[in-house]
Structure 1
């Protein structure tokens, strides 16, 4: 077998030189070297250092205003209105605010492909290429290569904010944040002990067993059962109708769902032709059998409101064979200016797609990217067997269970690009990191609530326009 590169120094226990199959900078080192790297990072930045509060020299409303730059102006009030609904809704939409605060915070120096916006609502069910349900991190608009701590800190904060909103006692919220961090640490340590291929394919059953989610089982079953019924057929039945002499069309529900005609419609269709080239050949062959029936504009999410987002209705083997794609604008990551992060490919749609493929155990088989009217977009199947838990509805030990589940899933996602042996050596056996992140999460949750209050004040004063209830 031809070996393309050789690692100059590591050796096995028997003294035989270890040789790599890839370039030296991409090599996962031997066990001793991996542990040494993680422990060296721990000596440089202690685990307890992650309890430190973040910078506070900023106006959160100004950061929200900056994040609105480049969005469709008529939808900015809707975005602000959705963020104003509650502290947790604010946190969801304020990824740019927390990214600003995280920049310059203590980091271990160990990087992974990170979600960049890892909160409790960015985990959910979706369909794998084999048409089975997968539960994983599922939002990658902000993905970059960066400090794994950024994701874990944002996740822990979201646990406390959601728990408070649900009316849970403060001790319960802190315990759930602690358990999210502990599940992350323990999962990293479990993955570090497995053969590489087993760690790479660590499945949902193993994650659920590691997270111990008995109190959440009923809720997971209900969300899973509902997700199975979601898909293009359901979307088409709910949001489209046949128009006499004009084929099938999306039914307008302004401002959330509106028609796209003329130049804009043709631009989306032209972008889809380029998108096909980002797919494997066999999937291009599949999609070539479909024809475009209609294109509409559809507002999505909280943080994404105001970006250009389209849904495309396609028909395959007859009009009953519907496929609905989402074509969503990909903006620069909120971490793009952070020196601790690597912005990735110049095309932001490609950045999102490659980041998603790197972190997920399985991804949407039609996931790709496109350019529409000179802007980067990502393309994916719309609502394909998707389902998620609303964390602010969780009661009792359910919040704790869900926090552990999300912590374990996040560790699995990070370990796909950061050697789990290195990560495990850093996080260690003790709960020093868990305690530090609990302290951090409670403190930053206070700030998120204060920032939400500042947003409400800006709306009342007329500084920010807001449209609520949509």
Structure 2
């Protein structure tokens, strides 16, 4: 669903904040906290659903994808957004829809540069983004916090105390956002420097963040060139082979890259399009990353400017959302995919406080794609390296940031009305996370028995 479609839906966005909050309270009366926080098991074959997703991916990359997902229940959870989204679709709902990330697990937040070269912290993956009940994002975040915490060996007692705190952080962030004007909510700009001040981090966490900032400041296209490229036998710069993760291929995208690059340029801002006119394509390579998207068609384009400097763009296949993909009875075609790249780019621009100016999209002959800059001041947290205090702070910061993203939608005031200022909400959402984590463990055990036996 596009942003335009949202404004013509059932919610009349010309209502006042007070009226919208009242609608949220009415929704709570129909679906109380304890109902929203109850997980009702769904009958489905998890391996069958995952097999449908596998059919959309590159066969030669499936073995490594399987190994990555098999590393832990948390890794499995990261790679199976289709399962939770399908399950959530069968649960009681607040009925309050908003723009959501769709895969807001704790590993899908990170650091990146704004167009003004300021370091920001925000959501950073939008492949599953769309318009759905807001609590889907929060529930997925809390389940991921629990699974990641278990993978790190943190004690159950600490995790039981943490999960309501994470929900509380989301709730308080929603409240703070509605102490501001509409324009102020539109310009949050999640700068890391402000984050440090607002979070009152302890010295250990502050030092961790400082180290991340220092690493991010060193990551640009020239650093990528030094790390990922070499000279071929003719002395030309090219991407270094590291098959099967990074390899030169001959397919529709690489054969038509000039035409597709021209189509992509028409979807970016005029100033960015003009900037890109000063670059030419030097090399293209298929480069697979992550867990959930590993196996889809992803590429890197090496661009060289008229002054000899470089820019590296990442091109990712824009598949339908996982839930839709896991239910498809026919092959995915470009006719089905043709608006998926626009969906992802539009949602990213809505949900992030500031987005990559190189964001764009295009449709190929067989697939649809979206484009962004590769590793430009981008950095993420290695969750396995966090001690308890750092992990706790990070989880609550992610929840705070998620609420800011949700407040970009006109129905956000309804969320404010629904959650109120009640700690019972925090406990209910935490209760759901514990129940659903057991479902993930069952699905993970079935996956290991089916794929890794």
Report if TM-score (shorter chain) is over 0.5: yes
Among 221, 227, 231, the alignment partner of 1:232 is 221
Match of 1:55 in 2: 41
Q: Structure 2 vs 1, CA of residues 152 and 29 (structure 1 numbering), >3 Å: closer, same or farther? A: same
CA contact 1:60–1:97 (8 Å) conserved in 2? yes
Post-superposition shift, 1:206? 5.6
Post-superposition shift, 1:284? 0.6
Match of 1:268 in 2: 257
Using the alignment, how far apart are the partners of 1:167 and 1:316 within structure 2?
Answer: 48
Match of 1:86 in 2: 72
Match of 1:171 in 2: 157
Using the alignment, how far apart are the partners of 2:144 and 2:9 within structure 1?
Answer: 39
| Corresponding position: 1:397 with 2:383 | no
Match of 1:16 in 2: none
Post-superposition shift, 1:55? 2.6
Q: Structure 2 vs 1, CA of residues 184 and 373 (structure 1 numbering), >3 Å: closer, same or farther? A: same
Using the alignment, how far apart are the partners of 1:422 and 1:56 within structure 2?
Answer: 28
Post-superposition shift, 1:181? 0.7
Q: Structure 2 vs 1, CA of residues 262 and 84 (structure 1 numbering), >3 Å: closer, same or farther? A: closer
Among 313, 317, 321, the alignment partner of 1:333 is 321
| Corresponding position: 1:154 with 2:143 | no
CA contact 1:360–1:413 (8 Å) conserved in 2? yes
Using the alignment, how far apart are the partners of 2:418 and 2:283 within structure 1?
Answer: 52
Using the alignment, how far apart are the partners of 2:337 and 2:365 within structure 1?
Answer: 19
Match of 1:7 in 2: none
Post-superposition shift, 1:102? 0.9
Match of 1:467 in 2: none
Using the alignment, how far apart are the partners of 1:393 and 1:52 within structure 2?
Answer: 32
Using the alignment, how far apart are the partners of 2:60 and 2:10 within structure 1?
Answer: 51
Using the alignment, how far apart are the partners of 1:417 and 1:335 within structure 2?
Answer: 22
Post-superposition shift, 1:38? 1.2
Q: Structure 2 vs 1, CA of residues 28 and 413 (structure 1 numbering), >3 Å: closer, same or farther? A: farther
Match of 1:138 in 2: 124
Using the alignment, how far apart are the partners of 2:299 and 2:361 within structure 1?
Answer: 13
Moved more, 450-459 or 145-154: 450-459
Q: Which runs of 5+ in 2 are unaligned?
A: 1-6, 328-335
Moved more, 143-152 or 35-44: 35-44
| Corresponding position: 1:456 with 2:448 | yes
Post-superposition shift, 1:308? 0.6
Using the alignment, how far apart are the partners of 1:337 and 1:28 within structure 2?
Answer: 35
Post-superposition shift, 1:390? 2.1
Post-superposition shift, 1:150? 0.4
Post-superposition shift, 1:226? 0.8
Among 8, 16, 36, the alignment partner of 1:30 is 16
CA contact 2:53–2:326 (8 Å) conserved in 1? no
Using the alignment, how far apart are the partners of 1:384 and 1:84 within structure 2?
Answer: 30
Using the alignment, how far apart are the partners of 1:432 and 1:52 within structure 2?
Answer: 13
Using the alignment, how far apart are the partners of 2:251 and 2:129 within structure 1?
Answer: 33
Post-superposition shift, 1:202? 2.6
| Corresponding position: 1:353 with 2:345 | yes
Equivalent positions of 1:61-460 (< 5 A) are: 61-204=47-190, 211-214=199-202, 216-245=205-234, 247-261=236-250, 264-319=253-308, 321-336=309-324, 347-460=339-452
Q: Structure 2 vs 1, CA of residues 261 and 385 (structure 1 numbering), >3 Å: closer, same or farther? A: same
For residues 384-409 of structure 1, give each alpha carbon's deviation from its aligned partner in whole angstroms, at most 9, with x where no partner exists: 11111122332222221111100000
For residues 297-356 of structure 1, give each alpha carbon's deviation from its aligned partner in whole angstroms, at most 9, with x where no partner exists: 00111111111111000001333x1100011101001244899xxxx9951111100010
Q: Secondary structure at the match of 2:349?
A: helix
Q: Secondary structure at the match of 1:383?
A: coil
Q: Which runs of 5+ in 1 are unaligned?
A: 1-20, 462-470
Q: Secondary structure at the match of 1:318?
A: coil
Q: Structure 2 vs 1, CA of residues 76 and 345 (structure 1 numbering), >3 Å: closer, same or farther? A: closer
